[in-house]
Amino acid sequence: MAKIFGTSVQAADQVALLRTLGLLLQISLTLFAADTFGLSLQMQPLVYVFVLEVLYLSFTLALRKPLFVKESGLFIALSLDTLLWISWLYFSGGATNAFISLLLLPIALAAVTLPIWAPWVLTAMSTLAYSMMIFTAPESPMQHHGMDMSSHYLGMWFNFVISALVITTSVALITKRMRRQDELLAYMREGQLRQEQLLALGTVSAQMAHQLATPLSSLRLLLDEVKDDMSGTSVTITEMESALGRCEHTLAELRLATESIRDRRQRPQKITEIIEGLKQKILLLMPQTELNWLINCAPEQLSELSILTDMSLTPAIMALIENAARASVETINIPQVDIGLDIAPNVDQLYLQIRDYGAGIAPSLMPQLGTLLVQSPKGLGAALLLSHASLERLGAELILANHPQGGTVAQIRFTILKDPELALWPKTQVPDEITS
């Protein structure tokens, strides 16, 4: 409803205005225009109907904002409006009332603002009431100056049924299509925002990498001079050289990844090669991490499968493992991480699960992590955002969830390549047998 009329508050005000105008129209027709439009009034029942409508309208006007927040509240309001309109029509001429077509208004509102079942219910309710009024009406109202008007009123009834069906089907389908377009536009806006954030992060990372290259080269020269001046090799010098080597290695990988992404260098890679590469990276960059590998598939089966990769895949997975190790340290003081590997029964998807033993993720942050930069005491979620973007570019999917026994599980779903050789072909050169 909010997507069609704006906010729920605006929609509630608009519907309340329509209902108020409807009540004023009923009172005006009853008191001032009954003879003009040939209304057969039953004043005593109409007084009770007007009293009920005024009380109902006052009640719903006071509670219109909380009442219309949910779709069920608007449907109940439209149903009661329909019943009150039917009551006024019945006591003011029934099927001979020229304003009986106003029963289409609640149906139209339901078709625009509510799910597809709502206008059908109101159509059935209005059609049943109209049918009872036209087929149970006495003969005298159906005659006008000696002319039999039953065929005319029957035609009005048939026209009402057709109009209601057209509104229920056409308007509802058009509204459903508009809602899909709104959802698509919202998704595209979120994607554009994510791309803007990634571009900003990439720009800053490139600038930082460029600025770090010179200091690292200077530190390497200074460290070599210190080693030459010292007769022996101390533990401190060894640790400094190891840390500096890690920085140089990371900077070199960043340059290679940048070139790979720029040139769109994607290639198929064996899953076993990826696992071995991860083990070496973790041993080199995170030697203190306690890893538990849970590979639930046969080695010979795993060695035959490949997925699409580039230079950004390993850093993306490493960022998830590093986050998991940090979360475990904060809770159990041990950098313990479980890495599981499963293959779908139809051998079309590979599941890589990374579980930590931390405190888990707050439910309010769960939908945003990996898609947007978020405000969190532990950071902005930049590593998850970059990992999610890298995996998405490779056709993989990152899903975050809290583990039932504590901690967080990051599951990556890869699509297994049926024919790895096809992934090496340029996208502009597709063989004829594939296109056919």
pLDDT digits (tens, 9 = 90+) for 5-50: 444 456 566 777 887 888 888 888 888 888 888 788 888 889 998 9
Asked if the model's pLDDT at residue 335 lies above 60, the reply is: yes
- The pLDDT tens digits for 281-302 are 888 778 888 889 888 888 788 8
**Which helix or strand (DSSP H or E) is residue 412 part of?**
strand 408-415
Mean pLDDT of the chain: 78
The 3-state DSSP class for residue 156 equals helix
Confidence (pLDDT) at 232:
59
Average pLDDT over residues 305-325: 85
Confidence (pLDDT) at 3:
45
Least trusted range by pLDDT, from 80-94, 262-276, 348-362: 262-276
Confidence (pLDDT) at 352:
92
- The pLDDT tens digits for 234-245 are 777 777 777 777
For the record, the structure tokens of 359 come out as 């405190």
Average pLDDT over residues 145-152: 59
Residue of 224 and 138 predicted with greater confidence = 224
Contacts of 425 (CB under 8 A, 6+ apart): 431
Please tell me the distance from the alpha carbon of residue 95 to that of residue 126, in angstroms, as a whole number.
12
Confidence (pLDDT) at 355:
92
Q: Is residue 305 within 8 Å of residue 271, measured between CB atoms?
A: yes
Which of 134-138, 285-289, 413-417 has the highest mean predicted lDDT (pLDDT)?
413-417
Please tell me the distance from the alpha carbon of residue 51 to that of residue 290, in angstroms, as a whole number.
76
Residue 69 main-chain phi, psi, to 5 deg:
-65, -40
Contacts of 405 (CB under 8 A, 6+ apart): none
Asked if the model's pLDDT at residue 429 lies above 60, the reply is: no
Confidence (pLDDT) at 400:
87
Angle at which helix 71-90 crosses helix 117-135, to 10 degrees, equals 10
- C-alpha Rg value of the chain to the nearest Å: 35
Confidence (pLDDT) at 123:
92
pLDDT band, very low/low/confident/very high, at 338 (cuts 50, 70, 90): very high
Please tell me the distance from the alpha carbon of residue 57 to that of residue 243, in angstroms, as a whole number.
74
pLDDT band, very low/low/confident/very high, at 257 (cuts 50, 70, 90): low
Asked if the model's pLDDT at residue 384 lies above 60, the reply is: yes
Q: Is residue 390 within 8 Å of residue 266, measured between CB atoms?
A: no
Residue of 235 and 3 predicted with greater confidence = 235
Residue of 176 and 272 predicted with greater confidence = 272
Confidence (pLDDT) at 6:
45
Angle at which helix 172-229 crosses helix 382-393, to 10 degrees, equals 110
Residue 282 main-chain phi, psi, to 5 deg:
-65, -40
Least trusted range by pLDDT, from 17-31, 141-155, 379-393: 141-155
Confidence (pLDDT) at 353:
92
Q: Is the pTM of this model over 0.85?
A: no
147-148 vs 290-295, strand pairing mode: unpaired
Long-range contacts: 175-178, Cβ < 8 Å, 24+? 175/4, 175/111, 175/112, 175/113, 176/116, 178/3, 178/4
pLDDT band, very low/low/confident/very high, at 433 (cuts 50, 70, 90): very low
Q: Tell me how far apart the 2 most distant CA atoms of the chain are, in Å.
A: 128
- The pLDDT tens digits for 160-217 are 889 888 888 888 788 778 878 888 887 777 766 666 656 655 666 666 666 677 777 7
